[in-house]
Amino acid sequence: MTFTVVWLDSAASELAEAWLTANNRAVVTAAARNIDQRLRTSPESAGEAREGSRRILFSGPLAVTFEPSINDRVVRVLDVWLIEKP
């Protein structure tokens, strides 16, 4: 089963900022791709549970909070940030 991953505009802006400030942009790009892949295939088990239906996922050097809607087959990425500077 495949899910549609939607990055909120604010999360996309946060990702762009992380990419622009990174010393190693390839690492940030690879982490973002890994996050997308994991959320497309199994968001209900990716990362760790948080309040409500929100979850958090770490893929160094990035972390994201997201909200899967299993019935709609959509995952919304809410926030993204650098957990370490690459």
pTM over 0.85: yes
Which residue, 57, 53, 79, 80, is CA-closest to 67?
Answer: 53
Rounded percentage of the chain residues whose pLDDT exceeds 90: 95
| Segment 34-56, tens digit of pLDDT | 999 999 999 999 999 999 999 99
With a cut of 80, say whether residue 85 has pLDDT above it.
no
Whether omega before 68 lies within 30 degrees of 0, making that bond cis, reads no
Homologous superfamily (CATH) of 4-82 is RelE-like (3.30.2310.20)
Buried b (16+ CB within 10 A) or exposed e, 17-28: ebbeebeeeebb
Average predicted confidence (pLDDT) for the chain: 95
* Per-residue pLDDT, 86: 66
Domain positions in the chain: 4-82
